[in-house]
Amino acid sequence: MNGAPDELAIRARGLTKRFGQLVAVDHVDLSVPRANVYGFLGPNGSGKTTTIRMLCGLLTPSDGDVEVLGLRVPEQAEELRRRIGYMTQKFSLFEDLTVRENLEFLAAVQDIPRAAAGKRIDELVEQYHFADRQKQLAGTMSGGQKQRLALAGAVIQKPELLFLDEPTSAVDPESRRDFWEKLFDLADAGTTILVSTHYMDEAERCHRIAILDRGALVADGTPDELTHALAGRTLEVMAKQPRRAQQVLMGVPGVLSVAQIGNALRVLNDANGDAADRVRKALADAGLDAEVAASHPNLEDVFVSSTRGRDHEAPEKAA
């Protein structure tokens, strides 16, 4: 993705992090537009958290050039920290303090003057629906309530850029939906948000997404761009014996994945070409009666193609 420097909240080129012989992040290029919700996807251990920590200035890169909000990282990391917010997957506030006490503590840590802090906390209490819970201990709240409190704490200093590391992994669907409404309110107000997630429905909400695999950036674009690139590579198979059909199809050359969705099979191929014909022939040769039709790709297909597809290509590269 291209963009003028003043249009970007994050610009990273060749971002790399090594831990001894392990390359956790491998020459990643990122361009994150301002006032966008930018999704970060990847399997466990793909380097998402390590990348976020380098962009925050919490971890020093082994190599690469990084600018965040126009500041060079890690050289200007201290200045950057006053302009960003960071919310981790695990609830990190004080469970033995009340809602308001937690926010007061965070305001003090951010050196917000007392009068301004009181006004800001009143705003957050109203916006995040804590008016009747200000004196409730954080440790007694539900997962969704804790999540909202953590987000309120992360934005108490009105950050220009907000980092969220799998923030919705432990909450119910309704709380996740409400949380995302808050994120878009922030983006509409000008805050740039980088959020890592493993939920495909959340990734679909993002303005742009990037996928990391084994430390490398393997996909970057809008959800529509990424799914459109897989046009012709996804098939739906209706078979009377879906489990048997799935076993057969996993052995067909060029098939990356076969997932059962209800009574149907969703087949992802490494190229569009004659995939449908090959699938039909394999099923017929196995004596299985089935209907094969094209289907629209989704972000789960993009994720599988970007990660598992690299494994599929590996033998050719080795040869």
Q: Are residues 121 and 210 in the same domain?
A: yes
- Helices 114-127 and 99-109 cross at an angle (nearest 10°) of 140
What CATH number is given to the structural domain containing 162? 3.40.50.300
What's this model's pTM, rounded to 2 decimal places? 0.87
Q: Are residues 115 and 234 in the same domain?
A: no
- What is the percent of the chain with per-residue pLDDT over 90, rounded to a whole number? 80
Q: Are residues 105 and 247 in the same domain?
A: no
Q: Are residues 32 and 56 in the same domain?
A: yes
Instruction: Pick the last residue of a domain from 221, 241, 267.
Output: 221
What pLDDT is attached to residue 308?
75
* Average pLDDT in the chain: 91
CB–CB of 124/152 below 8 Å?
yes
Q: Are residues 124 and 169 in the same domain?
A: yes
Q: Is the pLDDT of residue 183 over 60?
A: yes
Q: Are residues 272 and 189 in the same domain?
A: no
What pLDDT is attached to residue 91?
79
Question: Which residues constitute the domain of residue 92?
Answer: 5-221
Mean pLDDT of 283-307: 94
Instruction: Pick the last residue of a domain from 159, 186, 221.
Output: 221
Please count the structural domains in the chain.
2
Q: Are residues 19 and 165 in the same domain?
A: yes
Mean pLDDT of 256-262: 94
Instruction: Pick the last residue of a domain from 169, 189, 221.
Output: 221
Q: Are residues 9 and 157 in the same domain?
A: yes
CB–CB of 311/237 below 8 Å?
no
Q: Are residues 258 and 209 in the same domain?
A: no
* pLDDT tier for residue 148 given thresholds of 50, 70 and 90: very high
Q: Are residues 255 and 136 in the same domain?
A: no
What pLDDT is attached to residue 261?
93
- What is the percent of the chain with per-residue pLDDT over 70, rounded to a whole number? 94
What CATH number is given to the structural domain containing 312? 3.30.70.100
Q: Are residues 264 and 174 in the same domain?
A: no
Q: Are residues 209 and 72 in the same domain?
A: yes
Mean pLDDT of 136-165: 94
What pLDDT is attached to residue 120?
97
